Amino acid sequence: MSRKPRLVHEIIPEHIKLSDKEAKALLKKYNITIREMPKILISDPAIAHLSVKEGDIIKIERKSRTAGEVVYYRGVVKE
C-alpha cells in the first residue's frame, strides 16, 4: 500500500491507495468488479494527497468505539 503523507484531522479517517496488485486481490477475494464497489469522488479532499486516478481503490481505516477498527473500501470515480 502506498503510504504518503496523510491528511491529519481527528474526524477524517486514514485513506490509503491500494496498489494494483492489492486492488486485484481485493476484487478477486470478494468476487466483485470496481463498478460494484461503493464510490469516492476523485475530487474528495480526503484523497487529494494520494495522487489517485479513476479506477483506483481506496482503503479507509476508521476507529470505532465498539468494533476497534473498521475497514472500508471505495472505488475512485470522476463523478
The per-residue pLDDT for range 17-39, each reduced to its tens digit, is: 999 999 999 999 999 999 999 99
Residues whose CB falls within 8 Å of the CB of residue 57, separated by 6 or more in sequence, listed in order: 17, 18, 22, 23, 26, 27, 34, 37, 73, 74, 75, 76
Q: What is the pLDDT of residue 10?
A: 62
Q: Please check whether residue 25 lies inside any domain of the structure.
A: yes
Residue 6: pLDDT over 90: no
Which stretch of 18-22, 47-51, 72-76 has the lowest confidence by average pLDDT? 47-51
Domain that holds residue 41: 14-77
Count of structural domains within the chain: 1
Give CA 11 to chain center in angstroms.
16
Q: Please check whether residue 7 lies inside any domain of the structure.
A: no
